[in-house]
């Protein structure tokens, strides 16, 4: 009788092995929740269509090693339940990257401080090119949680130095430019101090970036591979076409976020305050990153973060939350276009999710009572209410498509009465690590 071999998650049918995806793209809308998504869809198109309806929908729990888990019954019967000991972005990014829960505030290490293996490292070991793109500080919790090791997420300078000067990652893009403010205005010399260089690993690393002297041997040929540094919007846009450098570090000419922290009325409706036109969009950054990384015949791994959705949630900025989600939606569209023109869903895996929900967004239900965000028509803010300025343990959206997505769907065995099938963030990451073995 024929023996049945089922090797981990790489076998779907008896004797039929699933090849590891050539390309893996993980897109994280930091602070995103189901109600945030509905609010953006209502504003964008009056609810006539939903974002990402071409992807397989699931949900994901996010609690950290210091959390209390997720109980669907309590989540919907006790309004305060999801506020209890939620994860932060450091612990959540670490879980998504390494498959291991850790304590809040810890980056790429387990609860005892032991370094963990990042998913980008697994991809590098398979010969793939790797990259991280974010709309917030380059060394902030999510990109750091996918690349660095530190017991304290606030050690920005040490984390930035690790990311820029010590990893073999091929593309890094984000904000934290020391010479510009939150609206993209150049700072005068008297405003410059050592603290302004923390996000980029300190003044010495910054100087090395500017003179092309910083960078490890990323391709194992025995010679250092310094970064090609870009900073203007024209440079980001130009990176999306034609030939590219081997390694690119792009730092938009802005301080904390691409758009969320710009001037004007920060509580205004979407797009009422003029956008900062000197910085790239997330879509433009992603197009450039893909054009660099897809030169590798072994494939690529790319983590893309819409990081300022979380910042808008913390500040209860309804308009800017929607702006940031639409920018993230556009970036997902760039990835879809790239897959269908330059690759295929038979060899590429796309994951779209969040690390946690921020702001406890609901509709205008009674005090301490859950209700959905209410549609007020295209171009109008929905009826919505922020119930917190912090994270929650609410389930978050998860969408998948492509090579290996069946393995992720198979892990979603838990059931929530409103959100349907869900899995935990560590299970998602563990599946990715298994696919790369």
- The whole-number pLDDT of residue 15 equals 36
Which among 280, 202, 203, 267 has a CA at the least distance from the CA of 235? 280
Rounded Cα distance between 422 and 27, Å, is 18
- The whole-number pLDDT of residue 2 equals 31
Average pLDDT over residues 178-190: 97
- The whole-number pLDDT of residue 367 equals 87
Q: How far does CA 9 lie from the centroid of its chain?
A: 25
Which among 174, 180, 99 has a CA at the least distance from the CA of 142? 174
- The whole-number pLDDT of residue 365 equals 85
E-strand stretches of 70-218? 129-137, 171-175
pLDDT surpassing 50 at residue 11: no
pLDDT surpassing 70 at residue 66: yes
CA angle 424, 90, 128 (to 5 degrees): 75
Rounded Cα distance between 322 and 32, Å, is 11
Average pLDDT over residues 140-155: 98
pLDDT surpassing 90 at residue 17: no
Query: pLDDT band at residue 180, thresholds of 50, 70 and 90?
Result: very high
pLDDT surpassing 80 at residue 406: yes
pLDDT surpassing 80 at residue 4: no
Tell the residue number behind the tokens 């090791």, with chain if given: 149
- The whole-number pLDDT of residue 9 equals 40
Token pair belonging to 164: 């820029």
**What percentage of the chain has pLDDT greater than the value 70?**
96
As a whole number, the mean pLDDT across the chain is 95
The CA–CA distances, whole Å, from 338 to 6, 258, 281, 343 equal 33, 23, 17, 7
CA angle 58, 64, 70 (to 5 degrees): 50
Out of 52-56, 95-99, 367-371, which region has the weakest mean confidence (pLDDT)? 367-371
CA angle 158, 424, 62 (to 5 degrees): 55
- The whole-number pLDDT of residue 391 equals 98
φ, ψ at 97 (rounded to 5°): -85, -40
Query: Which CATH homologous superfamily contains domain 20-435?
Result: Alkaline Phosphatase, subunit A (3.40.720.10)
pLDDT surpassing 50 at residue 3: no
pLDDT surpassing 90 at residue 19: no
- The whole-number pLDDT of residue 18 equals 54
Average pLDDT over residues 332-336: 98
- The whole-number pLDDT of residue 312 equals 98
Coil, strand or helix at 244: coil
CA angle 404, 406, 410 (to 5 degrees): 125
**What percentage of the chain has pLDDT greater than the value 90?**
95
Query: pLDDT band at residue 45, thresholds of 50, 70 and 90?
Result: very high
Beta-carbon contacts of residue 331 (< 8 Å; ≥ 6 apart) = 27, 281, 282, 283, 285, 286, 304, 306
Average pLDDT over residues 421-436: 98
pLDDT surpassing 90 at residue 12: no
- The whole-number pLDDT of residue 366 equals 86
The CA–CA distances, whole Å, from 252 to 74, 77, 230, 275 equal 43, 44, 8, 14
- The whole-number pLDDT of residue 107 equals 98
Coil, strand or helix at 135: strand
Which among 12, 7, 8, 6 has a CA at the least distance from the CA of 403? 12
**Per-residue model confidence as pLDDT tens digits over 352-365:** 999 999 999 999 98
**Pairing status of strand 391-392 against strand 357-358:** antiparallel
**How many other C-beta atoms are found inside a 10 Å radius of the C-beta of residue 416?**
18
Average pLDDT over residues 208-229: 95
**Per-residue model confidence as pLDDT tens digits over 238-268:** 999 999 999 999 999 999 999 999 999 999 9
- The whole-number pLDDT of residue 24 equals 98
φ, ψ at 425 (rounded to 5°): -60, -35
pLDDT surpassing 80 at residue 398: yes
């Amino acid at each position: 009788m024929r023996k049945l071999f089922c090797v981990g998650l790489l076998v779907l049918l008896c004797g039929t092995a699933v090849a590891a995806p050539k390309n893996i793209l993980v897109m994280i809308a930091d602070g995103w929740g189901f109600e945030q998504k509905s609010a953006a869809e209502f504003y964008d198109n009056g609810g006539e269509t939903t974002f990402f309806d071409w992807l397989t929908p699931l949900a994901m729990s996010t609690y950290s090693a210091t959390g209390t888990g997720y109980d669907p019954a309590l989540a919907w019967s006790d309004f305060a339940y999801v506020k209890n000991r939620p994860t932060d972005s450091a612990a959540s990014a670490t879980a998504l990257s390494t498959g291991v829960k850790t304590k809040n505030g810890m980056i790429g290490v387990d609860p005892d401080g032991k370094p963990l293996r990042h998913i980008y490292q697994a991809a590098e070991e398979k010969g793939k090119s790797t990259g991280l793109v974010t709309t917030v500080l380059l060394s902030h919790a999510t990109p750091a949680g996918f690349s660095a090791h530190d017991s304290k997420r606030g050690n920005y300078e040490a984390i930035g130095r690790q990311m820029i000067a010590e990893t073999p990652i091929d593309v890094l893009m984000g904000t934290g430019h020391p010479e510009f403010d939150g609206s993209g205005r150049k700072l005068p010399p008297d405003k410059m101090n050592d603290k302004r260089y923390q996000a980029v690993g300190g003044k010495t690393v910054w100087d090395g970036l500017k003179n092309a002297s910083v960078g490890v041997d990323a391709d194992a040929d025995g010679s250092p591979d310094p970064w090609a540094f870009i900073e203007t919007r024209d440079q980001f846009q130009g990176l999306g076409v034609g030939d590219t450098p081997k390694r690119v570090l792009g730092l938009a000419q802005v301080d904390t976020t691409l758009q969320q922290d710009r001037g004007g009325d920060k509580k205004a409706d979407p797009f009422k305050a003029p956008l900062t036109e000197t910085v790239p969009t997330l879509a433009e950054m992603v197009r450039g990153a893909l054009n660099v990384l897809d030169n590798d015949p072994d494939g690529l791994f790319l983590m893309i973060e819409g990081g300022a959705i979380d910042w808008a949630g913390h500040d209860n900025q309804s308009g800017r939350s929607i702006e940031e989600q639409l920018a993230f939606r556009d970036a997902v569209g760039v990835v879809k276009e790239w897959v269908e023109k330059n690759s295929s869903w038979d060899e590429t895996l796309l994951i779209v999710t969040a690390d946690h929900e921020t702001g406890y967004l609901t509709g205008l239900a009674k005090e301490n009572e859950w209700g959905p965000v209410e549609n007020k028509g295209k171009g109008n803010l929905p009826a919505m209410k922020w119930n917190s300025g912090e994270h929650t343990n609410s389930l978050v959206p998860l969408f998948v498509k492509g090579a290996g997505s069946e393995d992720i769907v198979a892990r979603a065995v838990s059931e929530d009465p409103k959100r349907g099938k869900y899995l935990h963030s560590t299970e998602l990451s563990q599946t990715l690590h298994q696919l790369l073995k």
